[in-house]
Structure 1
Amino acid sequence: MSRKLVFGDLHGGLKGLVQLLERIDLSPSDQLIFLGDYVDGWSDSANTVTYLIQLAKQNSCIFIRGNHDDLAHKWLETGEMNQKWLEHGGQSSIDAYRNFTKDQKQEHIDFFREMFNFYKDDQDRLYVHAGFTNLQGPDYEYHDTGFYWDRTLWEMALSMKEGLATDDQFYPKRLQHFKEIFIGHTPVTRIGESKPVNKANIWNVDTGAAFKGSISALDVNSKEVYQSDPVHTLYPDEQGRN
């Protein structure tokens, strides 16, 4: 039976991703939804993108745009960079592309261009890297950047009263548009967790792979969790984004 699997942030941790896919025992019929931030972190940023491009030839894959992907894309295409990006993983991506040819870089630029800001499946579920702010839903958002930078959706879910009914007058309108929302962007390790966390109807699948955590995948239907080893243990000679 085919599965729908959603993946948290990778941050260049290709060794962790390969290990995770082996543990999942991937089938060609499985659909894979990646929530973004494929680069900026461990030394395999460029190799991770190459691997994902090849993976999409074997499985049905949806690639959501993350903030780090947007920054790396801008640098690849125009040379644009800023100090904040360099300090938060950008330098690792620049280093990772040093031996890539012009044609290889162009293939990656095309990959970045074709990403989705968000994806809605046929079961009324939303997949987005960070969030959205428009009360009418993501289709009405004024600026694309919110999809891969916004943290207020997750902060709102964390602050909500447990068990608040969806028809309660104080239930957030943003959350009423979907059965479930799957996000990354803000590591759950910040609240002391190591596995994907569910708050209200939001699932946060970012388990801190850029730092001391694992890469995680969640079966959207069964909610079974799969994880790699903590990624930093697979790159013992590197600092990542620590």
Structure 2
Amino acid sequence: MRIFAIGDIHGGLKALIQVLNKIEVKDGDTLIFMGDYVDGWSESAQVIQFLIELSQKINCVFIKGNHDVWCENWLRSNDVNPVWYMHGGKETIDSYASFSLDEKKNHLEFFENMPLYHIDDENRLFVHAGFTSMHGAKKEVFQETLYFDRTLWEMALTLDGNIKEDSILYPKRLKHYSEIYIGHTPTTNFNSDMPMHAANVWNIDTGAAFKGKVSAMNLNSKDVFQSDNLPALYPDEKGRNKD
């Protein structure tokens, strides 16, 4: 059985389909999506519809990201969070123009059923952003941390490679899991268009919201499959780029 972690998509349906075609998804595969399915490119609603249909054929786990929380709240109340609107929400609202009320209700239910984290049989943690509790994600007091935190990744990046897991200096946060998979913080911020590895943390967000790609990683082989850069797939759009 193959298991893939798939990074942030941000409304880039064309990129998602490219990646899945490269993976050549088969019955028996498991796809674990790291969150942020919406906001950025023009096909957010279409991404959600595609994922709902995909989950009826393939075993999927959909982690909830911060952009998904914003979209969920809008679908529930029709209230527009101004921060969300400025960070891709406008494009997501526009993408729902042709969707019926029943379809929107179905999407809302899809968002509501997303877990904030997932721990598999090999004690691998999948969470959109991170966590701050030294006792692990299950003990996180503020749930927003699971989809907003960046300190876990920053800590992993700065950890001295000579500090081993059995050292008293090794961060207690990291000891709870064999591996930790995250999205949320684009690796393109660190001049990398590939997933990055630090300590036992893998960051799979390769900047699809901006000028980067959607990425998928085979958890066992660590082989990476990527889309084209999103601006090349949506040449008439800017996504969340400001230039």
Q: CA RMSD in A?
A: 0.7
Corresponding position of 1:190: 189
Aligned partners of 2:63, 2:162: CA distance in 1, in Å?
30
Cα deviations by residue, 1:181-213 (Å, 9 ceiling, x for unpaired):
000000000000011000000000000001111
Corresponding position of 2:84: 85
- For the pair 1:180 / 2:185, whether they are aligned, the reply is no
Corresponding position of 1:144: 143
Corresponding position of 1:164: 163
2:206–2:213 CA contact under 8 A, matched in 1: yes
Q: How many residues align?
A: 241
Tell me how far 1:80 sits from its aligned partner.
2.6
Aligned partners of 2:139, 2:80: CA distance in 1, in Å?
29
Tell me how far 1:167 sits from its aligned partner.
1.1
Tell me how far 1:43 sits from its aligned partner.
0.3
2:7 maps to amino acid: G
| 197-206 or 72-81: bigger deviation | 72-81
Cα deviations by residue, 1:24-53 (Å, 9 ceiling, x for unpaired):
111121100000000001000000000000
Counterpart secondary structure, 2:153: helix
Aligned partners of 2:176, 2:94: CA distance in 1, in Å?
41
Tell me how far 1:154 sits from its aligned partner.
0.5
| 43-52 or 140-149: bigger deviation | 140-149
| 78-87 or 124-133: bigger deviation | 78-87
Counterpart secondary structure, 1:87: helix
Corresponding position of 2:54: 55
Tell me how far 1:116 sits from its aligned partner.
0.6
2:234 maps to amino acid: Y
Aligned partners of 1:103, 1:138: CA distance in 2, in Å?
34
Q: Give me the identity figure in percent.
A: 50
Cα deviations by residue, 1:110-168 (Å, 9 ceiling, x for unpaired):
00000010000010100000011111111111121111011110011111112320011
Aligned partners of 1:177, 1:55: CA distance in 2, in Å?
31
Corresponding position of 2:132: 133
TM (norm. structure 2) is 0.98
Tell me how far 1:60 sits from its aligned partner.
0.3
Structure 1 unmatched runs, 5+ = none
Aligned partners of 2:194, 2:63: CA distance in 1, in Å?
20
TM (norm. structure 1) is 0.98
Corresponding position of 1:199: 198
Check 1:223–1:163 CA distance in 2 against 1; reply closer, same or farther (3 A cut).
farther
Aligned partners of 1:163, 1:193: CA distance in 2, in Å?
23
Corresponding position of 2:229: 230
Tell me how far 1:83 sits from its aligned partner.
1.8
Structure 2 unmatched runs, 5+ = none
Counterpart secondary structure, 2:118: strand
